Amino acid sequence: MRMAVGDLARAAAGEGWSELVVRRGQVGAYALTTVTCDGREIVVEGMEEPFRRMREVSCTSGHGTWFTCELWFAPGGRGYTGRVDASGPPFAEVPPVAALAELTVFPRQEAPGWLLDALPTAPPLTLPMGGDTHGQWLRGSHNDQPPPPPPSISGDLSYVPATAMTARGFQHKEKRHRHLAVLVRDTDAPKEAHFAVASAGEDCWIIRDRMRATGEGVRSLAVDGTVLRLELTAEAADALETETCFEVLLDLPAEEIERLRTVLPGILRSAGDAPELIGF
């Protein structure tokens, strides 16, 4: 979702920029989003849904979710840095209805003072009035219990997509209509870091380090000397946690590289949406 925010900001910024900064402040349904491109504010459409989902998935039991999210994007890659803050006020004045909605949707064991101060003196008719939720937050401002440990929803953010790996081992497995080609970084620990191409019938997958995979969005595979190069769509790159161009440096004997040239086309030949093969 953060990458989706970056894609929207990049599309609106066009070409030639050097820094994009996206800031989102939100309490309840009240939100302000600003995007600056090289210090100049620009208009970006479509930010509401990804930020709404980001707040939902960031919610921590008993701690709520963040109020402020800032993301910094640089050209030439899909990575970002940034920060989230789940304690400080995102703007100077918080609407009372927004404060109550925040605590209703994202309950907290300890609410910050500024959020308690913003609560309405009586629950508005548009929000649930049953239970003791409102009184709980009012009493919380006089609670002598120590606050809970800082939640993980506050702090710095960083995402650095992988650009390359070195393969020192190659394995090819075949069973009936299933094929698997695996390039491993460490032959003594083949499951720790690897790149794999797998197929079963018309389905094909690219797998990186066991937990990251994509079944689509691979535009091309190219063998250039001792380099296997992938060109990926943005969605496939995000699924693999790589840049859209990812390279596998083949630290393999020449005969193993030739075997790889033979094996990969055979695996991909029956794929329904096979990538372009270059240098095979």
End-of-domain residue from the set 110, 140, 159: 159
pLDDT per position as a tens digit, 102-112: 999 999 999 99
Residues 105 and 148 in one domain: yes
Interhelix angle 2-13/48-58, rounded to 10 degrees, is 160
Provide Rg for the chain, Cα atoms. Answer: 25
Q: Where are the alpha helices (DSSP H) in 68-108?
A: 96-105
Same domain, 188 and 81: no
Same domain assignment for residues 132 and 41: yes
Q: What does the mean pLDDT of the chain come to?
A: 86
Residues shown for the chain: 280
Question: Residue 265 sits in which domain range?
Answer: 162-278
Number of domains, the chain: 2
Q: Considering 142, 159, 176, which residue would you say is the last residue of a domain?
A: 159
Residue 122 shares a structural domain with residue 199: no
- The answer to whether residues 280 and 263 touch, using CB atoms and an 8 Å cutoff, is no
Pair (232, 114) in one structural domain:
no
My answer on whether 90 and 178 are in the same domain is no
136 and 239, same domain (yes or no) = no
Cα separation, 45 vs 133, in Å, equals 35
- Judge if 169 and 140 occupy the same domain: no
Q: Are 86 and 108 in contact (CB under 8 A)?
A: no
The H or E element spanning position 13 is helix 2-13
Regarding whether 155 and 172 lie in a shared domain, the answer is no
Among 159, 192, 226, the domain boundary falls at 159
Q: Give pLDDT tens digits for 177-197.
A: 788 889 988 766 655 668 998
Identify whether residues 274 and 138 lie together within a single domain.
no
* Matching residue, tokens 């009586």: 122
Could you tell me if 166 and 256 lie in one domain?
A: yes
Residues 58 and 146 in one domain: yes
Which runs of E-coded beta strand occur in the chain? 20-27, 30-37, 40-42, 68-73, 80-85, 155-159, 162-167, 169-175, 178-184, 194-200, 203-208, 212-214, 218-224, 227-232, 242-250, 276-278
Over the stretch 132-180, which tens digit does the pLDDT of each residue have? 443 444 444 444 545 544 445 789 999 999 999 999 999 888 887 788 8
DSSP 71-82: EEE-TTSS-EEE
Per-residue confidence at 123, pLDDT binned at 50, 70, 90? low
